[in-house]
Structure 1
Amino acid sequence: MIFNKKLLVVDDEVDFADFVVEVAESMEFDVSSVSDPSKFSNFYTNDIDIIVLDLFMPVIDGIELLRFLADNKSEAAIIFMSGKDRGVLHSAQQLASKRGMRVLGTLQKPFLVQELEDLLEKYTPDSVPKLVDPAEMPAFGELKSAIVNGQLSLVYQPQININDRTVVGVEALLRWKHPDKGMIPPSYFIAIAEEHDLISDITEYVTKAAISQLAEWQAQGISLRMSINISPQTLYELDMPEELATNAEELGVSPSDIVIEVTETAVMSDIVRYMDILTRLRMKGFNLSIDDFGTGYSSLQKLVQVPFTELKIDLEFIKNLAIDNECRTITEISILLADKLDMRVVAEGIENEAVWNILKELGCDEGQGYWMGKPMPAKEVAAWIEDWSLKGQH
C-alpha cells in the first residue's frame, strides 16, 4: 500500500473522474481533480507523484498536457486513460517514454477498480526517472581519464531459460562510477564516447573484460553464454570480426559462447556494410542478437538478410505485457517470428511473476529482468546462480 502520495486526475467526464478519485483516496492518496483541462496549469505543482490523464478532452487534449509536463520537467508518473482508440493509448505511452517520462500504464474505459489499483500499486518514488542536468554531468576529458584510470567496470545480468529455469547466460553491462559525481548513466557517457571517438577504446575494454570473465567462469566449471553490446560506430570497422576472434582465441574462449548484440536501428542504417561485418562474425562462430527488437523501422526483408541467431524483445513491450494488449500482441508475434526464423528469443525487462508466466505461455525461450536478478558484479554471480537453483527446487 502507498501512503500520502499526491495524485492529480485530469478528465472532463466528471463522473468518471470522481470514480478514480474515490479509488485513489481509498488507497490513501492525497487526491485533487481537474475537469477543465484549460485550467490544468493552475492545479499542477511539481510535487505531484502521479497524474491520471484522459487523452480525449475538449479544447486541450492529453497529448498537449503531456507536452506541458515534459517542458516543465515533471517527475510525475503518468497513467493514460481513454474510452476511444486503444492504439492512441499505446502511442501516448511511447511518446511519454521518448520524452523521458515514466508511464505506469494505460486504462481503456470503462475499467475495473482492480485494474486501477494494480497500476497505482506499481508506483514507488524510485520508479520515476530523475531528469539529469547536463551541466552536472562529466565532460569529455573526464571520460577519457576514466578509461585510462580504470573507473569503468562491468556488471552482469543473468539470462534464464523460461521453460526449465536454468541460468544460461549473462549480459555484460557497462558502468562508470565517477569519484565525485557518482554513477553516470550509460546513455549519457556512451553518447560522449561516440561523439569524441572514444567508443573504440571503450569497446576494446568491454570485450576484453567480458571475455576474460567468461574464461574465468569456465575455468571454475560455470558454463554460461556472454552477451556483449557493440556500438554501431565500432560495428562499422571492417576488421572488427578478426580482432574479436583473436581476442577470444587468446583467452581460450569459443566464439559460440559469445553473443554480439546490435540494435535494430543501427543495423538498418547501412545494411550493406553491416551485412559484411555481421556475416563474417557469424562465420567465425559468434552468435548475433538483434537488440531492442520492435523499436526500430526494419522490414522483415532486412531482418532475414543478416544471419541473426537471437531476437531480443525490447523491455518497453515486456514490462507492460500483463496490462497492455498491444504489448502482448507485439511480443507474441515477435516470438512466432523468431521461431519461424529458427532464432532464439529473449525478453528483457521482466519485473514480476505475472509477466514471466505470460512469456512462458507464449513460448518465449529466455528472459532477464529485475524479478529474477539485477545486474551484479562478477564476484556475486556464482552465489546468485546457486541461490536461484535452490529456489527452483521449491
Structure 2
Amino acid sequence: MTTETLIKVPFKADQVGSLLRPQKLHDARQQYKEGAISAKALREVETNEIRRVVNKQIEVGLKAVTDGEFRRTWWHLDFLEHLNGFEGYVPESGYAFKGEETERYNIRNHGKISFNPEHPFIKDFKAFKKIVNGRAIAKQTIPSPNQLFHRGIRNSEIYPDLEEYANDVIKTYQDALRAFYEAGVRYLQLDDVYIAGLNTEVLQTCEAGYTREQLIELALRVSNGVLENKPEDLYVTTHLCRGNYRSKWAFEGSYAHIAPTLFAKEKVDGFFLEYDDERSGDFKPLAQIPAGGPQVVLGVVTSKFGELEEKEFIKARIQEAAKYVPLEQLCLSTQCGFASTHHGNILSEEQQWEKLRFIVETAKEIWGEI
C-alpha cells in the first residue's frame, strides 16, 4: 500500500461502509446468544462472510472495501462501549426514528475516559486487512468523536466541565487514530449523526445549556483536535448522516447551519454527504467547501430502498452540485451504509450489489475513472 495509491481517497466511486448481514451470520449470532456455538465458532462464521463480501466488493469494481461491519451490532455503540470510561446499557427507550423506535441499547460515561489499547476493533482490522491482502484499500469506519456529545452520555459528576470532557475525548481519539495507523489503517472514516442534530430546529439530542453556534464550534474543535498531528499518509473522511435504521431516518434539515464552520474549516480529506432525498436540502451549502480542499462524496444514490435510480438523473444531480464545487472535487456513493445496525435496510443483497455496481459504472462515465 503506497501513498501514491491513496492520494485519490476518497475515490470517485466510493461507499459508506456497512453491508446487509447475510442470514448465515444472523443465525450464528442467535446460536451464540443461546449458547449453542462458541465465540470462536461465531468468529469463524464472521470471517468467512467478510471474506465473501470483500471478494464481491472487488468484483463490482470498488477500490475501497470494508468488512461490512459484520462483527458489529451497531455502527457506533460497539466501538464506543469499548473505550475506557464508557459502558453499554439498556435504556428505557430506543432512538426515535421516523415512525419507529429502535432496539433499546446505548452507552453512558461511568469513569474517566481514554483509549483502550486492547480495543477489539484493532484486532478486527488486522484480520480484515489480511483478508483484503493488498487487492484493494482496506477502509476502516468508526463513529465520530462528536457522537460522545449526545445528551445523556456525559456523566456530569465525573465531568462537570464540558471542556475537560472534550479534551479527554480528543486525547482518546488521537490515541485511537495512532493505534489504527500502527495496525495498518490508511483510510479512516468518521461517521457522524450528532452533527445532523445541530441542523434541526430544536436541539433535542445535543448537550443542554449551549447555543447552536457554541456546539458547532465545539464539534469543529473536537474534530480538528483529533486530527492534529495525524500521520500524513493517514487519510480521514467524515460521513454526515441523518440516521439509518431499517430504512427509516431520524433527522431532517439542510447543511446550512453547519456549513460555514464545519465545511469550511474541518481538516478532513473528504465529506460523505447525504443527498438522496428532499430532507437534505439543496446543494448551496457546498459553496462553503474550499476550492481544492476536501473531496465531496455525494450520497445521491439511496441505500434505504432497492429500486435503482435513473443514471441520467444521478448525472444531472452531480452537475447541479458542480455549480458550487468543481466537478473534479466531487465523488459518488450511497447516502449511507446498507445496514447501520444488524437489522439492515429493506432491500435484498442482490439489490445492494446492483447499487454499488451502478455507482462504479456511473462514476466511470462521469470522470473516466473511479
Q: TM-score, normalised by structure 2?
A: 0.40
**Higher alpha-carbon Rg:** 1
Q: TM-score, normalised by structure 1?
A: 0.38
